[in-house]
Structure 1
Amino acid sequence: MSANAIEIRDLRKSFGPVDIIRGVNLELRAGERHALIGPNGAGKSTLFHLISGRLRPTSGKILLHGQEIQGKPPARIVHAGLSRSFQITNIFPEMTVLENLRCAVLWKLGHRYSVLRPLGRLRDVEAECTRLLEELRLTHRRTSRADSLSYPEQRALELGLAVASGADTLLLDEPMAGMSHSETAAALELIMAVTEGRSLLMVEHDMGVIFEMADRISVLVYGEVIATGTPEEIRANPAVQEAYLGTPNAEEAA
């Protein structure tokens, strides 16, 4: 198996004459927490769509554990071991928390839906759902409808759906967006715990979260990666300061 969970090689995406992703090269190491940052319009969401199969690249390669996945349907990519969350919460609102998790766990464990077999009798499914509920700190919300959860709880459930698939590589798209300071702190703690041992590529605008959580950071500007390094290296990089973080004096004043 490749030492990298994801390898992106000279990836490009154009919409007509407009180049959105312009020759991106990026590596997510196995077991690494890697943050992707950049100004609005840099192409971060487009890059996530390309990796997860929602968009086809114009050219270039995307490898998951050494196997090419560019252009494959999202379901095939999930089956290969990659799952993602979205900027907008993506859950089944009219189903309970438990029912949401069952959907992902059934698929992971190889079960098929059947009107003749009550799902509650599948002991392996129930055991895995119970474990996930505890891990996500949602046991007390087991029978609650998903649309009755608080916003942070809905984001936690979406994270649970991503890991319930059995994926060892996760893409998280702005998981802390719209949260208060205290909610962000709790979400950060949860993500750190749930993603332990997995490979994580995350887009997030909260720089405090990024510098606390990421092993490495890549900076995307106008569809190109202009720098990759540790949080300390990125913080000190003059090109990054100019393009994204602002000058050291401006950052200190902020």
Structure 2
Amino acid sequence: MAAPAVELSGVTKSFGATQIIAGVDLAVPAGERHAIIGPNGAGKSTLFNLISGRLSPTSGTIRLEGADITGQRPAAINRRGLARSFQVTNIFPKLSVWENVRCAVLRAMGYRPIFWRGIEHLPGVAARTAEILDSIRLGHRAAMPAGMLAYAEQRALEIGISIASDARVILLDEPMAGMSHSESEHATALIREVTAGRTLLMVEHDMAVVFGLADRISVLVYGRIIATDTPERIRENRAVQEAYLGVAAA
């Protein structure tokens, strides 16, 4: 049996005397779209920081496709096939949309700075960049400075940068934050399309997005996962309703 794409075993994280993650066990199979939900302060972003290497756990083990990545730096984890977006859009605003994606493509294809050789003619780079821009529907914005994109387009660009790295596991931290209903619908369709065949682990507060996109959902409350199941069963779970979803889940 293939190892889970992401696996956490007994993971804890404390800051001084305050425990934020209190013993999380989680296995996300390859190819699954998995959402983590929970109230503010539940520890969702901390959990993402642990998986992506921005924080090291106090105890426990984190594995990526069977390999122990506990405590490794973010760049090393990225090279192993995991990419992450953030709550705050993380792009190069003064570079063009094309240049933002091309930077990620160059790294993914193993190119390093070569001062005596132009990058315009490197084999495959332009074609791969154009392919990604088309997939995130920003080909018509290629020459525009990324900072001039609409907010939803900037989020789409960040997703494009993530998939440009050829990551097999994508972590999206509140990808719909700040979007209107129509923008969220567009972004949901985009995420479903570009993550096909990849593993998606997502933190999101928009329950319509979560229930429409996720194959399974884990509910994190006070640093502990109280339930992991299909969207339908999570919606019907009384403990989840009481802890988080409330009347809206009924």
Pick the TM interval, shorter chain: over 0.9
2:156, 2:198 → 1: CA distance?
17
Identify the residue that residue 40 of structure 1 maps to in structure 2: 40
Structure 1 position 34, deviation (Å): 0.3
Question: Deviations along 1:135-168, whole A, 9 cap, x unmatched?
Answer: 0101111111000100011000000111111100
Identify the residue that residue 149 of structure 2 maps to in structure 1: 149
Identify the residue that residue 194 of structure 2 maps to in structure 1: 194
Identify the residue that residue 251 of structure 1 maps to in structure 2: 248
Q: What SS does the aligned partner of 1:121 have?
A: coil
Question: Deviations along 1:1-39, whole A, 9 cap, x unmatched?
Answer: 834100100000000000000000111110000000000
Identify the residue that residue 181 of structure 2 maps to in structure 1: 181
Q: What letter corresponds to residue 39 of structure 2 in structure 1?
A: P
Runs of 4+ residues over 3 Å off in structure 1: none
Would the alpha carbon gap of residues 185 and 223 (structure 1) be closer, same or farther in structure 2, given more than 3 Å must change?
same
Q: TM-score, normalised by structure 1?
A: 0.97
Q: What letter corresponds to residue 248 of structure 2 in structure 1?
A: E
Q: What letter corresponds to residue 220 of structure 1 in structure 2?
A: L
1:99, 1:150 → 2: CA distance?
17
For the pair 1:8 / 2:8, whether they are aligned, the reply is yes
For the pair 1:112 / 2:112, whether they are aligned, the reply is yes
1:123, 1:80 → 2: CA distance?
23
Q: What SS does the aligned partner of 1:123 have?
A: coil
More divergent stretch after superposition (111-120 vs 183-192): 111-120
Q: What letter corresponds to residue 209 of structure 1 in structure 2?
A: V
Q: Please give the root-mean-square deviation of Cα atoms over the aligned residues, in Å.
A: 1.1
Q: What SS does the aligned partner of 1:4 have?
A: coil
The equivalences for 1:122-141 within 5 A come to 122-141=122-141
> Contact 2:13–2:19 (CA<8 Å) still a contact in 1?
yes
Gapped runs of 5+ residues in structure 2?
none
Identify the residue that residue 220 of structure 1 maps to in structure 2: 220
2:104, 2:202 → 1: CA distance?
21
Question: Deviations along 1:29-73, whole A, 9 cap, x unmatched?
Answer: 100000000000000000000000000100000000000101001
Would the alpha carbon gap of residues 233 and 164 (structure 1) be closer, same or farther in structure 2, given more than 3 Å must change?
same
Structure 1 position 222, deviation (Å): 0.2
More divergent stretch after superposition (109-118 vs 3-12): 109-118
2:113, 2:137 → 1: CA distance?
27
Structure 1 position 252, deviation (Å): 6.4
Aligned residues: 250
1:232, 1:187 → 2: CA distance?
22
Q: What letter corresponds to residue 217 of structure 1 in structure 2?
A: I
1:232, 1:149 → 2: CA distance?
36
Structure 1 position 77, deviation (Å): 0.1
Identify the residue that residue 208 of structure 1 maps to in structure 2: 208
2:70, 2:7 → 1: CA distance?
11
Question: Deviations along 1:78-121, whole A, 9 cap, x unmatched?
Answer: 00000100000000111001111111111110111122211111
Q: TM-score, normalised by structure 2?
A: 0.98
2:113, 2:49 → 1: CA distance?
29
> Contact 2:235–2:249 (CA<8 Å) still a contact in 1?
no
2:70, 2:219 → 1: CA distance?
22
1:194, 1:252 → 2: CA distance?
29
1:108, 1:23 → 2: CA distance?
34
Gapped runs of 5+ residues in structure 1?
none
More divergent stretch after superposition (165-174 vs 119-128): 119-128
